[in-house]
């Protein structure tokens, strides 16, 4: 019998798994919660993955702002894209723009990339971890505000992400003031 | 009776061991077995004389009314005596005849005794089917005996000829037997002969049976196997071709004659064939220079006479025929054995080379003379008595035989004359001293064991002739059962009857022919070539071979598209008429559901593009689109389980294709020729139309209520689940699922065995050793944007984050940070989701398959993100273990229900309450589902290991320094490239 | 039972899928055959769906009333078919790779045995088989020899029997 190595188990994951389990069943019965927690522990024991290198702190208010802003962007971008597609007169001019992100963590890089990709009109085509470069393809640079504006948009996304879930040291390292 | 048969069988089985132990002397021991049957026949003489028949009936298969019935009456008695007596004589002779170093003596002895047993069974069988079984047994044994010298071409060919001809006859005979049995309502001979059926069916049956009999007894046109069978050892010829095998046909004719000899077709067949054979055999015998061949053709001619006599409907003829049967067996066997002695002494059987043998071996010469005298028909030998009786019968029956009476008499007399001629020639050729041929004069005394059997047979020939009255009494019971004429008589002297005069005339003619042989041989008139039976046989065989090859060439082209095309064409042609006759109207509903319309349009467009695609990846992706559209259709049509499965399976299929396509060229090879393209297009379109017609007609042709109306209620009550589809899969039709997971197991093994060249790689490096593999996987691939990957400043902190276990083993340009992070976060969630699907599948969409696929996809994601070492870390168990364990669990669940008293695969619903969890309901089919779950995971793991990790491994070739070699995308160098 | 017939678009989809799939299956390249099989599998599944009757709700007992349920039996069979098609595709694709590895192409070749028979048949019609050479009975008989013992030795226990 293997020695239980509790360092493998991240309680955050256990909580998350229990939550998922209970939501799937749709019933907040204590049995479900217990079962969820148990499954969370077992799954991490049997299928271990390295600990997530997360040294930040969650700021609920900024998190809320991030989510709201995401949905607003989604909404607006849909209309923008429709306008671009249905405009018979101009041909969209796309471009791949390199954006230098400031954070030192893969997590924030990924989140930024994913949010950028999910919003219609921009797709991340390459994310390089060694220097934090993101190469983003925009469908119509002029319509969406120009190269510089696009770059700032991505950086703003990154800033929102880091404000929401990064610690103060990381913010300082990235050069963002609180 | 049965004991005798069993004794023969036991002796045959023991013979090889006996021969190995005792050498040639084992033959003497084995001779006791046929002798026993002869002795037994003698003891039965009393009952045969009384006219009583002893019947032994052994029930065998009651359901088919099949009994083993053995009967001994006068005819069988005669034949048992012959088969047993001559058999033992030949075995005694063989004990001294063969060299003790001859090949395969044990096998010879065994087959010989077996043959004797089969003959015994044949002549005592009462049931026609049983008779046929023994008949075919004799055929097989004769094949083995004739082909005894299996290393010689002549022997093999002769044996093949014999078995082909006699089996052909045997098959016709079987057909005849079946028809006759159906017509008569029974297969038992005595019943059939008591009330013979009439009609065209019966006539055909009799004709077919006669074909079998005449092929066995070497009548024209089936005679040519007999001379060829002289390639057999001489004892075999003495037994098979004198006393046993060829007599089977005569026996059958004699057996059936009382009931059927008045049929016109019977008389036509027998009359024509027998008469032709008598003359043909006699003439050919005159032209041979090999002693054995003379005897062979003599046998052919004599068989013609025998069949003519026993096949005639007259009692007198039958009596004469049976007498000749016995006499012929005695003298022919005796003569064959004598030829064997001559051959063994001098080394040749060619009468042109033999001279002065009579002086060297006087005893043998005397025996030979006795045998020849009987054959020729000199008083007071058995042959004479029989021939006289035959001539009497023919002459007396002239009136009844009109208008064929005279020709029969003439031909029979001619046959006698020819017999005399070649008989004299035989003895002269073997023993006389000829001018111009050198001869040695020293006297040789052949051993007693070689001389005694032929001597005994010759003496028996005399003895039976000296007691004709006894013979007549013994043979009349059977002869008396013939339909027509007066009973005949056997006597040595009946006065100067016309028969006697004919005999004198035959002697005159025959003697002249013999004396004038040299003049006649100069007038060679050869038999016309194209009528030669041998040649026809050879040509026929060759034609059959050629036809077979030609047909195979046309039908079996070996080309897969051809076979498939034919398959589909037959399907179209076969199904179309039925569909045309359907009366259902084309009630099509123009659906208004937008999603379904969109999905269908997507499917049609994608299919058309797939067919035209020239790049492999394009074809695969488009096929994937059809898959996802199908899933959408499933969802709209109320099949959520199906939609789930379809989506997951389509994803896995895409992954599988991609894993292999990275090793295949980008473009498909050239398309085939335009002509075949149109053919394929037409077949495909017709099939599509057929399917469309099916789709329209079949749903509307439903007459009964579907059984699935009753399933939902049963699912809840008996299966304990609300998801009806899942209940069907793991409960109602769990056998199908069991078979399905076996298929998965087989496919997984197949894939692994096709990809792994050596053995399943069992390397599973622990993370510690991954340091050695750092950043090497995929390092050989070109990296076009490598210069973009430089860190932005020399002192920037290097990102050492390890999101996955083995992510660092991949070369930098193979790593995707987004994929790694996403997989890290999603992985456990996916596993939990899979467990949920597994557990809730019984009441909501889900189930073992879906759960297993989700886990498989999770592991695939980890593999794609982290490489093959990640895969090893992700799989807690070996795929083979998972597969086997899963099948085992599923199987034991099936059996467990039997152990607990239910049916196999019956599921039980268990309820109990637990403190924290509350009330729990568990259905045992969950364990079955868990088995399925494990098998699916095992399948996907095995696929990833083979098509993913192993192909990676084969692509990453390292050179001596452990550095990756550029251009390592070719397959591993251990494969020899074979030129097509 | 069912007043309306099957959905036209589904019929078209199934027919097109099967036609396209069969067209690909009749090719020689194994990859094309595998893709064709995937298409045929999808087409056949849609065909099953059509024959299962009109559209209904999901066959889950508390979710839809029994009269409105779609037919669950063909669905179970389709599920089996889908999974087996996956296994088959994986196997075919592995075979294609193997063929590529060995022969540098992934085409299904003609069967060697059948081609050999065709060659033999062609040869046969062009020449006589040696077997048909006419050998007379006499010539054959001259070759036939039994393995006989030496019978000049009088004693029945001949020399060769003594070991």
| In a shared domain, residues A42 and A116 | no
| Rounded CA separation B823/A83 (Å) | 35
Cβ contacts (< 8 Å) between B103 and chain C: which residues?
147
The minimal CB distance from B98 to the residues C73, C113, C149 is found for C149
CB contact under 8 A, C10 and B600: yes
- How do residues B456-496 score in pLDDT, each as one tens digit? 888 888 888 888 787 787 888 788 888 887 777 787 777 77
Write down the pTM of the prediction.
Answer: 0.69
Between chain B and chain C, how many beta carbons pairs sit less than 8 Å apart?
436
Nearest CA distance, B373 vs chain C (angstrom) = 26
Asked if residue B813 lies in contact with residue B781, where contact means CB atoms within 8 angstroms, the answer is: yes
- A103 occurs within a structural domain: yes
Structure tokens at B714: 């049963």
| In a shared domain, residues A17 and A78 | no
Residue B974 has pLDDT above 50, yes or no: no
- How do residues B344-375 score in pLDDT, each as one tens digit? 888 788 888 888 888 888 888 899 999 999 99
- How do residues B782-814 score in pLDDT, each as one tens digit? 777 777 777 666 555 555 667 787 777 777 777
- How do residues C29-82 score in pLDDT, each as one tens digit? 999 999 999 999 999 999 999 988 788 888 888 888 888 888 899 999 999 999
Q: Residue A100 belongs to what domain range?
A: 60-174
CB contact under 8 A, B789 and A130: yes
Query: Which of the residues B786, B806, B818 would you substitute to probe the A interface, choosing the one with the greatest number of A C-beta atoms within 10 Å?
Result: B818
Give the confidence band of A124 by pLDDT, cuts at 50, 70, 90.
Answer: very high
Q: What is the pLDDT of residue B714?
A: 84
| Rounded CA separation B886/B745 (Å) | 10
| In a shared domain, residues A154 and A78 | yes
Q: What is the pLDDT of residue C79?
A: 95
| Rounded CA separation A37/A41 (Å) | 6
Q: What is the pLDDT of residue B973?
A: 40
Nearest CA distance, B807 vs chain A (angstrom) = 11
| Rounded CA separation B213/B3 (Å) | 28
DSSP A76-89: HHHHHHHHHHH-SS
C123 touches B at CB < 8 Å:
no
Higher-confidence residue: C1 or A14? A14
Residue in this structure with the two tokens 């779609």, named with its chain if needed: C70
H or E segment at A148? helix A147-165
H or E segment at A113? helix A106-118
What one-character DSSP code corresponds to residue B911? E
B377's CB contacts (< 8 A; 6+ apart) are: B383, B384, B386, B387, B388, B416, B419, B420, B503, B506
The minimal CB distance from B916 to the residues A31, A109, A133 is found for A31
Annotated domain spans of chain B: 151-535, 573-581+590-696, 724-780+801-955
- A53 occurs within a structural domain: no
- How do residues B495-542 score in pLDDT, each as one tens digit? 777 888 888 888 888 888 888 777 766 666 665 555 677 778 888 888
Q: What is the dihedral of CA B58, B61, B66, B72, to 10 degrees?
A: -20
Cα dihedral sign, A24-A25-A27-A33: negative
User: Pick from B928, B54, B747, A152: which is nearest to C93 by CA?
Assistant: B747
Annotated domain spans of chain C: 8-119
Q: What is the pLDDT of residue C161?
A: 47
Q: What is the pLDDT of residue A2?
A: 45
Coil/strand/helix, residue B748? helix
Burial label, B495 (beta-carbon count in 10 A; 0-12, 13-18, 19+): exposed
Q: What is the pLDDT of residue C96?
A: 93
Give the confidence band of B850 by pLDDT, cuts at 50, 70, 90.
Answer: very high
Coil/strand/helix, residue B702? coil
- How do residues B554-573 score in pLDDT, each as one tens digit? 888 888 888 999 999 999 99
Give the confidence band of B656 by pLDDT, cuts at 50, 70, 90.
Answer: very high
CB contact under 8 A, B817 and A109: yes
Cβ contacts (< 8 Å) between A115 and chain B: which residues?
none
| Rounded CA separation B305/B798 (Å) | 113
Burial label, B171 (beta-carbon count in 10 A; 0-12, 13-18, 19+): middle
| Rounded CA separation B548/B519 (Å) | 48
- How do residues C2-15 score in pLDDT, each as one tens digit? 456 678 899 999 99
CB contact under 8 A, B803 and A106: yes
| In a shared domain, residues A76 and A28 | no
Q: What is the pLDDT of residue B957?
A: 61
Structure tokens at B488: 């005949």
Cβ contacts (< 8 Å) between C140 and chain B: which residues?
154, 228, 231
Cβ contacts (< 8 Å) between C58 and chain B: which residues?
638-640, 845
C136 touches B at CB < 8 Å:
no
Residue of chain B with shortest Cα separation from A110: B818
Burial label, B797 (beta-carbon count in 10 A; 0-12, 13-18, 19+): exposed
Q: What is the pLDDT of residue B875?
A: 81
- Other Cβ atoms within 10 Å of B134 Cβ, number: 20
C138 touches B at CB < 8 Å:
yes
- How do residues B396-419 score in pLDDT, each as one tens digit? 877 777 677 788 888 999 999 999
Cβ contacts (< 8 Å) between A132 and chain B: which residues?
792
Total number of domains in chain A: 2
Q: What is the pLDDT of residue B772?
A: 67
DSSP-derived pairing of the beta strands B918-923 and B909-914 = antiparallel
The minimal CB distance from B607 to the residues C2, C16, C79 is found for C16
B501's CB contacts (< 8 A; 6+ apart) are: none
Q: Which of B36-45, B57-66, C101-110 comes out lowest in average pLDDT?
A: B57-66
Q: Which of B184-188, B400-404, B826-830, C99-103 comes out lowest in average pLDDT?
A: B400-404
Q: Which of A95-109, B65-79, B329-343 comes out lowest in average pLDDT?
A: B65-79
Q: What is the pLDDT of residue B744?
A: 95
The minimal CB distance from B804 to the residues A49, A53, A124 is found for A49
Q: What is the pLDDT of residue B61?
A: 77
| In a shared domain, residues A86 and A167 | yes
Q: What is the pLDDT of residue C151?
A: 64
Cβ contacts (< 8 Å) between A21 and chain B: which residues?
832, 836
CB contact under 8 A, C5 and B626: no
Query: Which of the residues B600, B661, B662 would you substitute to probe the C interface, choosing the one with the greatest number of C C-beta atoms within 10 Å?
Result: B600
User: Pick from B411, B373, B428, B160: which is nearest to B282 by CA?
Assistant: B411
- How do residues B598-641 score in pLDDT, each as one tens digit? 999 999 999 999 999 989 999 999 999 999 999 999 999 989 99
Chains A and C share 3 or more Cβ pairs within 8 Å: no
Nearest CA distance, C88 vs chain B (angstrom) = 7
- How do residues B279-296 score in pLDDT, each as one tens digit? 999 988 888 888 899 999
The domain made up of C8-119 is a member of CATH 1.20.120: no
Give the confidence band of B769 by pLDDT, cuts at 50, 70, 90.
Answer: low
Residue in this structure with the two tokens 């003599």, named with its chain if needed: B298
Q: What is the dihedral of CA B189, B191, B195, B199, to 10 degrees?
A: -60
| In a shared domain, residues A39 and A97 | no
Q: What is the pLDDT of residue B524?
A: 61
- How do residues B244-277 score in pLDDT, each as one tens digit? 889 999 999 999 988 888 888 888 899 899 999 9
């Amino acid at each position: 019998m293997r020695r239980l190595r509790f360092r493998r188990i991240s309680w955050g994951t256990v909580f998350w798994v229990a939550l998922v389990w209970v939501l799937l069943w749709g019933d907040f019965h204590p049995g479900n919660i217990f079962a969820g927690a148990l499954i969370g522990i077992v799954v991490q024991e049997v299928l271990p993955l390295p600990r997530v290198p997360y040294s930040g702190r969650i700021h609920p208010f900024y998190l809320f702002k991030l989510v709201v802003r995401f949905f607003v962007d989604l909404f607006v971008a849909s209309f923008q894209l429709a306008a671009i597609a249905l405009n018979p007169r101009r041909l969209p001019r796309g471009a791949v723009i390199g954006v230098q992100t400031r954070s030192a963590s893969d997590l924030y890089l990924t989140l930024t990339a994913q949010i950028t990709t999910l919003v219609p009109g921009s797709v991340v085509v390459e994310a390089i971890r060694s220097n934090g470069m993101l190469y983003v393809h925009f469908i119509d640079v002029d319509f969406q505000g120009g190269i510089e504006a696009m770059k700032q948009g991505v950086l703003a996304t990154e800033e929102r992400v880091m404000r929401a879930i990064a610690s103060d040291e990381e913010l300082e390292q990235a050069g963002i003031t609180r | 009776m049965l004991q005798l048969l069993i004794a023969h069988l036991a002796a045959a089985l023991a013979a090889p061991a006996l021969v190995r132990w005792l050498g040639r002397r084992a033959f003497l021991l084995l001779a006791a077995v046929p002798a026993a049957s002869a002795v037994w026949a003698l003891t039965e003489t009393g009952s045969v004389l009384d006219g009583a028949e002893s019947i032994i009936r052994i029930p065998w298969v009651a359901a088919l009314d099949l009994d083993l019935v053995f009967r001994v009456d006068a005819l069988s008695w005669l034949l048992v005596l012959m088969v047993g007596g001559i058999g033992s004589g030949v075995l005694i002779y063989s004990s001294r005849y063969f060299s003790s170093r001859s090949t395969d003596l044990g096998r010879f002895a065994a087959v010989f005794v077996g043959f004797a047993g089969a003959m015994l069974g044949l002549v005592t069988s009462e049931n026609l089917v049983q008779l046929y079984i023994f008949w075919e047994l004799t055929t097989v044994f004769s094949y083995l005996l004739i082909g005894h010298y299996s290393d010689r071409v002549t022997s093999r060919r002769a044996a093949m000829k014999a078995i082909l001809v006699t089996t052909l006859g045997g098959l016709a005979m079987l057909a005849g037997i079946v028809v006759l049995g159906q017509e008569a309502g029974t297969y038992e001979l005595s019943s059939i002969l008591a009330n013979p059926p009439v009609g065209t069916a019966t006539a055909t049956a009799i004709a077919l049976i006669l074909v079998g009999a005449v092929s066995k007894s070497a009548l024209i046109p089936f005679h040519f196997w007999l001379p060829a069978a002289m390639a057999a050892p001489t004892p075999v010829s003495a037994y098979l071709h004198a006393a046993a095998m060829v007599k089977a046909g005569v026996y059958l004719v004699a057996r059936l004659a009382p009931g059927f000899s008045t049929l016109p077709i019977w008389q036509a067949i027998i009359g024509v064939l027998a008469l032709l054979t008598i003359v043909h055999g006699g003439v050919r015998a005159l032209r041979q220079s090999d002693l054995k061949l003379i005897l062979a053709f003599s046998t052919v001619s004599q068989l013609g006479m025998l069949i003519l006599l026993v096949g005639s409907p007259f009692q007198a003829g039958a009596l004469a025929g049976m007498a000749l049967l016995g006499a012929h067996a005695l003298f022919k066997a005796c003569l064959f054995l004598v030829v064997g002695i001559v051959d063994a002494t001098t080394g040749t059987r060619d009468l042109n080379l033999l001279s002065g043998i009579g002086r060297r071996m006087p005893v043998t010469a005397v025996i030979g003379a006795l045998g020849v005298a009987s054959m020729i028909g000199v008083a007071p030998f058995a042959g004479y008595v029989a021939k006289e009786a035959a001539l009497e019968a023919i002459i007396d029956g002239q009136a009844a035989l009109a208008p064929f009476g005279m020709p029969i008499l003439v031909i029979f007399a001619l046959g006698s004359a020819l017999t005399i001629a070649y008989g004299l020639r035989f003895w002269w050729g073997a023993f006389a001293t000829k001018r111009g041929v050198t001869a040695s004069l020293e006297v040789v005394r052949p051993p007693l064991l070689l001389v005694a059997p032929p001597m005994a047979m010759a003496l028996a020939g005399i003895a039976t002739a000296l007691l004709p009255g006894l013979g007549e009494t013994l043979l009349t019971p059977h002869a008396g059962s013939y339909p027509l004429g007066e009973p005949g008589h056997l006597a040595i002297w009946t006065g100067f009857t016309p028969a006697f005069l004919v005999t004198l005339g035959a002697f005159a003619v025959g003697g002249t022919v013999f004396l004038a042989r040299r003049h006649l041989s100069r007038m060679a008139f050869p038999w016309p070539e194209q009528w030669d039976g041998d040649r026809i046989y050879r040509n026929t065989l060759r034609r059959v071979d050629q036809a077979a090859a030609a047909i195979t060439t046309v039908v079996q082209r070996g080309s897969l598209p051809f076979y498939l095309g034919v398959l589909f064409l037959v399907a179209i042609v076969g199904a179309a008429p039925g569909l045309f006759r359907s009366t259902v109207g084309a009630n099509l509903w123009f659906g208004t559901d937008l999603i379904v319309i969109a999905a269908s349009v997507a499917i049609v467009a994608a299919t058309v593009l797939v067919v035209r695609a020239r790049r492999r990846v394009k074809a695969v992706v488009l096929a994937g689109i059809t898959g996802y559209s199908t899933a959408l259709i499933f969802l709209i049509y109320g099949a959520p389980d199906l939609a789930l499965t379809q989506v997951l399976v389509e994803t896995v299929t895409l992954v599988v294709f991609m894993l292999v396509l990275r090793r295949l060229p980008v473009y498909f090879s050239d398309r085939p020729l335009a002509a075949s393209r149109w053919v394929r297009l037409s077949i495909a379109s017709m099939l599509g139309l057929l399917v469309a017609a099916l789709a329209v007609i079949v749903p509307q042709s439903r007459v009964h209520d579907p059984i699935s109306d009753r399933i939902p209620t049963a699912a809840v009550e008996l299966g304990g689940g609300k998801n009806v589809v899942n209940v069907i899969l793991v409960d109602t039709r769990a056998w199908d699922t069991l078979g399905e997971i076996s298929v998965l197991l087989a496919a997984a093994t197949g894939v692994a065995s096709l990809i792994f060249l050596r053995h399943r790689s069992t390397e599973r490096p622990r993370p510690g050793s991954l340091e050695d593999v750092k950043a090497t996987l995929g390092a050989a691939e070109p990296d076009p944007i490598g210069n973009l990957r430089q860190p932005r400043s020399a002192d920037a902190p290097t990102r050492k984050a390890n999101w996955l276990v083995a992510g660092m083993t991949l070369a930098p340009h193979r790593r995707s940070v987004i994929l790694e992070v996403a997989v890290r976060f999603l992985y456990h969630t996916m596993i939990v989701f899979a467990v949920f699907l597994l557990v809730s599948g019984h009441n909501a969409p889900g189930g073992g398959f879906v759960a297993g696929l989700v886990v498989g996809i999770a592991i695939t994601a980890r593999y794609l993100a982290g490489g093959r070492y990640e895969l090893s870390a992700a799989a807690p168990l070996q795929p083979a273990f998972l597969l086997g364990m899963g099948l085992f669990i599923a199987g034991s669940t099936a059996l467990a229900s039997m152990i607990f008293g239910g049916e196999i695969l019956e599921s039980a619903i268990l309820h109990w309450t637990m403190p924290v969890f509350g009330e729990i309901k568990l259905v045992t089919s969950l364990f079955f589902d868990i088995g399925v779950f494990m098998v699916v995971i095992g399948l996907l793991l095995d696929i990833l290991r083979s098509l993913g990790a192993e192909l990676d491994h084969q692509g990453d070739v390292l050179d001596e320094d452990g550095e990756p070699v550029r251009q390592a995308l070719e397959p591993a160098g251990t494969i020899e490239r074979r030129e097509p | 039972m069912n007043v309306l017939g099957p959905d036209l678009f589904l019929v078209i989809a199934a027919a097109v899928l099967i036609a396209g799939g069969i067209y690909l299956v009749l090719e020689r390249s194994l990859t094309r055959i595998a893709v064709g099989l995937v298409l045929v599998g999808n087409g056949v599944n849609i065909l099953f769906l059509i024959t299962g009757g009109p559209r209904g709700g999901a066959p889950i007992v508390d979710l839809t009333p029994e009269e409105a349920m779609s037919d669950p039996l063909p669905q179970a069979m389709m599920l089996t078919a889908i999974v087996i098609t996956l296994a088959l595709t994986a196997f075919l694709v592995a075979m294609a790779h193997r063929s590529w590895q060995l022969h540098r192409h992934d085409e299904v070749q003609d069967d060697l045995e059948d081609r050999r028979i065709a060659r033999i048949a062609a040869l046969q019609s062009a020449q006589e088989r040696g077997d048909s050479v006419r050998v007379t009975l006499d010539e054959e008989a001259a070759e036939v020899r039994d393995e006989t013992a030496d019978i000049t030795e009088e004693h029945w226990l001949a020399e060769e029997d003594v070991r």
